[in-house]
Structure 1
Amino acid sequence: MAELRTDRLALRRWRDSDLEPWAAMNADPEVREHLGDLLTRDQSDASVARFQADFDRRGYGWWAVEVRATGRFIGFAGLDPVDDGMPFTGVEIGWRLARSAWGQGYATEAALAVLAYGFDTLGLPEILAVTTSANHRSQAVMRRIGMTRDPADDFDDPTAPEGPLRPNVLFRIARGARDRHSRRNR
């Protein structure tokens, strides 16, 4: 499995030492605000087991993210095939960070590394991102990494209950658009 490195972050394989802070994130109502119910420790641990199995099976997925200078685990970022039953197909980028890591540019930095891996290593022609229509912080990251939204692509998540988690937005970026965005922002 490839480890991704940025100036400040390492995106790496999950470790047993990540389980406790990951569980704390999944029990934090602010972190889970746009994701649904809080997870129990068993559910949180099971998610890491799935992440590791996905990496073993297909060679990519959700990396654990740590701050290189301190080795502190701060969340995850990665790529995952779009779930069955959604009104579109493809590979989705995502991230989730502990509240203590918010507002420091880590999500954008990790997402740019993941985009590069998706386009340059996996050869993906396009990468998608999905979030609730109310999740303005994630939408801001999507725009910062060069993704665009067509309101015609917005949809109601068929897996979400009625309420604020159902209306979703879809952002996209094609390989060529990422290259143009990178050149403009140098």
Structure 2
Amino acid sequence: MTQITLETDRLILRQPDLSDFEPLCELMADEETARFIGGVQEPALVWRGLCGIVGHWALRGYGFFSVFEKSSGGWVGRVGPWFPHGWPQPEIGWSLNRSTWRKGYATEAAAACMNHAFDTLGWPDVIHLIDADNLPSQGVARKLGSRDLGTDVEVAGFGMIVDVWGQSADEWRVARKSLG
């Protein structure tokens, strides 16, 4: 499989590998960070999750990217296209270390992934599954030009009810112009 890397002004997004295990364990051990993505996980479950992400890449040809800050080389989080079994349709999701919140990294990385999903993968539209109480992620979705589609779904395997946010490829082509 060809390795895919995306680059933004401040970030590098690459396919995940074994070196991402420890920083992903840190992300998933932080109660506030993990609150809306299934809760805190012990390393054994994080390992299974990382293997699932790598497997998603192998089976679908895309998946969450590991995101790195160019200036420091530090691991920021995971962002990307995602369509596991039981999802209503493909999504662009994001989970970033709390230490990197409010720097615009989620919007920047998600925008690069939106471009990839629409321009390379050919998706006609995209969703983001966001908990009704997750105001920061709703803010990221709004900055991307997405809106609450008025639908609630249960996240398969997690038992969580979330709001479905999203937009079409045509809407994105207009919205991305305002992101610069």
Q: TM-score, normalised by structure 1?
A: 0.88
Would the alpha carbon gap of residues 133 and 80 (structure 1) be closer, same or farther in structure 2, given more than 3 Å must change?
same
Aligned partners of 2:85 and 2:156 also within 8 Å:
no
Partner Cα separation in structure 2 for residue 29 and residue 112 of structure 1? 26
AA aligned opposite 1:178: W
Partner Cα separation in structure 2 for residue 37 and residue 122 of structure 1? 30
Please state if 1:7 is matched with 2:9.
yes
Q: Residue 26 of structure 2 aligns with which residue?
A: 24
Cα offset for 1:97?
A: 0.4
Aligned partners of 1:82 and 1:92 also within 8 Å:
no
1:72 to 64, 71, 74: 74
Cα offset for 1:57?
A: 2.1
User: Deviations along 1:29-71, whole A, 9 cap, x unmatched?
Assistant: 0111112331111111221111112112221001101111211
Q: Residue 137 of structure 1 aligns with which residue?
A: 136
Q: Residue 175 of structure 1 aligns with which residue?
A: 169
Larger Rg: 1
Aligned length: 178
**Secondary structure in 1 aligned to 2:31?**
coil
Cα offset for 1:182?
A: 2.1
Partner Cα separation in structure 1 for residue 55 and residue 155 of structure 2? 25
Cα offset for 1:20?
A: 1.1
1:40 to 39, 42, 51: 42
Q: What's the % identity of the aligned pairs?
A: 29
Aligned partners of 1:77 and 1:96 also within 8 Å:
yes
Partner Cα separation in structure 2 for residue 40 and residue 160 of structure 1? 16
Partner Cα separation in structure 1 for residue 178 and residue 22 of structure 2? 40
**Secondary structure in 1 aligned to 2:22?**
helix
Would the alpha carbon gap of residues 20 and 133 (structure 1) be closer, same or farther in structure 2, given more than 3 Å must change?
same
Would the alpha carbon gap of residues 127 and 46 (structure 1) be closer, same or farther in structure 2, given more than 3 Å must change?
same
**Secondary structure in 2 aligned to 1:35?**
coil
Q: Where does structure 1 lack aligned partners over 5 or more consecutive residues?
A: none
AA aligned opposite 1:15: D
Cα offset for 1:106?
A: 0.2
